[in-house]
Chains A and B, each alone.
Chain A
Amino acid sequence: MSKFQKLEFYAQQRPYELLPFKFDRLNDDEYVITNMAGEFLVIPVPMLEPIISKTLPLSSELIPTLRSKQFIRFTNEQAPLQLLALKIRTRLSRLAEFTNLHIFVVTLRCDHSCPYCQVSRQSESKGEFDMTTEMADKSLDFVFRSPNSAIKIEFQGGEPLLNFEMVRYVVLEAKKRNVKEGRDLQFVIATTLSLLTDDVLDFCKQHNIVLSSSLDGPLDLHNANRPRPGRDSHQRFEEGLQKARAALGYDQVSALMTTTDKSLPRARDIIDEYLRLGFDGIFLRTLSPYGFAIKTKKFMSYDTERWLEFYKEGLQYIIELNKSDIRFVEQYSSLVLTKMLTSGDPGFVDLMNPAGAGIAAIVFNYDGSVYASDESRMLAEMGDHTFRLGNILEHSYEEIILSDQLLDALENSFTLSAPMCSDCAFEPYCGAEPVYHHAIHKDVVARKPESSFCKRNMAIFKHLIELMGSDEQTKRIFMGWANRC
């Protein structure tokens, strides 16, 4: 009789079990593994197979980390299951709240003529592109049907200040209804600031309205990207910014940039301009495939690789600024990092699954049409009404929210059942984006290997993880971005 049991006897007794996780190659030497709650870990390539085969020695330094991040558990441990369930529930808690952002397109008229305009703006004189009072009333009926305790109403255009009377009407009417409703009601006006007046600012101050604007970079770049009569968009922005900050408060005005081919060599200049004007962050934003951006071929003027170079250069500069004690955030990275480093979901529509269309944001257009997202109404201006959910004057809340146009888009684009996405380690950080994929590929899922959305986001996720792995100080900066109050 043998003195010892065979090796297999001990192998079967190994006291860890696998919990669900996914993996992808980060580079030639490392894999990134992620679990259902978005926890991630970078491991050397040779370690993956032993982890999955459960032949990793218990003395391995990886075991405590794998266990603490819920990639493995010891037999019969219940806490990892409860923790994973809690994190997943926290991450998805926005779904139960339902629609928060309600976009009112009060006019399609605009004083600018940006060649990349994604909403296909109309000239200032065309009154038929304005929302009517009847539409606004019906839209407000719809807004207060949302079960969300927090309601944000955002006025968009065109330039909403060209129909400020409608902005005023909606704000006053919403506040009147909210006396009874008791929601946490917020207002935002997306404006170029070029038409800002003291009357507008007084009203904004009185009703705590926040302004969201556009700044593409230094004067020459901004004015080249955003033409208007007088070629003074930047000057008007800067004047408006100062007036608005003085009236409303320094942090009540934000700005978004759009990357054109002219922006690509000037990442540092653009960031320096944001710093000069006192902003504490920038959203390095690529062009979207809608409206004039397609008609004028602006969208085709650079590819994903070139934009990624721009993004990486800008991000590196921003990290250097933070290392020299200048607190400044790249906002897209910050959204992704929140998903990577916390159990929270920032609720950014592009990075939501199920897609945020309709259930996180909804659009009431100037003509009464209701769209699943801002991008959906942009697509409609190009003649594609796929994501038109109904008309606010003709259809009920139920008819719109339960419309096939919305439910099919949400269901068919769900990433956990989409080819390639369902196995992708970066899926917890990504989004379904049915509107983008429909616009480019005429299919809400599309072939992901051909999707520039997939390529761009995958590259960003990998880049952020590699940056955190290569430099402890960068990781600390990123943790600060992910946990901002």
Chain B
Amino acid sequence: MACSHTLIFDERLYDAQVLQKAAYRSINTLTVDIISEEGRFICVLSLNIGLDEPAFLSAIQEFKKDVLDYQLRHRLAVETQPIKNLILGLAFSKTGLISE
């Protein structure tokens, strides 16, 4: 029997890239179809062939946690991107690799 489960995420709260990254991370247990519809992301989760139902339930739970984690990572990355560039600039400006 094919296992399938649908999760719905509000587009105002979650970034599409976040769902894609969570889906990628779960690729070993799940495949995820992501559909954007009326301000919502509909994620249809299907269990990989050869895995059983307990593994599916566990994978759904992991997927939900990963979505939250990736959303937080996204916030953090956006906020710190300018200072990250500044730090890398500082680091590489003194390597002697670039002729002045």
Q: Does A306 interact with chain B (Cβ within 8 Å)?
A: no
Give the residue name and chain of the A residue nearest to B85 (CB). Answer: A20
Contact partners of A22 in chain B: CB under 8 A:
73
Contact partners of A85 in chain B: CB under 8 A:
87-88, 90-91, 94
Other-chain contact of B69, A20, A21, A23, A93 (Cβ < 8 Å): A23
Q: Check B96–A96 contact: CB distance below 8 A.
A: yes
Given contacts A81-B90, A89-B95, contact A420 B80 (CB under 8 A): no
B63-100: which residues lie under 8 A (CB-CB) from chain A? Answer: 65, 69-70, 72-73, 75-77, 79-81, 83-84, 86-88, 90-92, 94-97
Q: Check A21–B76 contact: CB distance below 8 A.
A: yes
Other-chain contact of A420, B25, B72, B95 (Cβ < 8 Å): B25
Q: Does A63 interact with chain B (Cβ within 8 Å)?
A: no
A1-53: which residues lie under 8 A (CB-CB) from chain B? Answer: 17-25, 36, 48-49, 52
Q: Check A450–B27 contact: CB distance below 8 A.
A: yes
Shortest CB distance B18–A (Å) = 10
Q: Check B94–A419 contact: CB distance below 8 A.
A: no
CA distance A52 to B79 in the complex (A): 10
Given contacts A52-B72, A96-B95, contact A19 B80 (CB under 8 A): yes
Q: Check B80–A18 contact: CB distance below 8 A.
A: yes
Q: Does B58 interact with chain A (Cβ within 8 Å)?
A: no
Other-chain contact of B24, A81, A84, A419 (Cβ < 8 Å): A419
CA distance A449 to B70 in the complex (A): 16
CA distance A186 to B92 in the complex (A): 30
A414-432: which residues lie under 8 A (CB-CB) from chain B? Answer: 419-420, 423
Contact partners of B92 in chain A: CB under 8 A:
89
Interface string of A155-166 (1 = CB under 8 A from B): 000000000000
Q: Does B4 interact with chain A (Cβ within 8 Å)?
A: no
Q: Does A447 interact with chain B (Cβ within 8 Å)?
A: yes
- Enumerate the 5 nearest inter-chain pairs by beta-carbon distance, A residue then B residue, closest first: A85-B90, A85-B91, A20-B80, A449-B28, A20-B84
Could you pull out 24 A-B pairs where Cβ atoms are within 8 angstroms? Answer: A18-B76, A18-B83, A19-B83, A20-B77, A20-B80, A21-B76, A22-B73, A49-B72, A52-B76, A81-B90, A84-B87, A84-B90, A85-B87, A85-B94, A89-B92, A92-B91, A93-B95, A420-B21, A423-B70, A423-B73, A447-B27, A449-B24, A449-B25, A449-B26
Contacts A18-B80, A21-B76, A25-B65 given; 11 further ones with Cβ under 8 A?
Answer: A18-B79, A20-B76, A21-B80, A23-B72, A48-B72, A52-B76, A81-B86, A85-B90, A423-B21, A450-B27, A450-B28
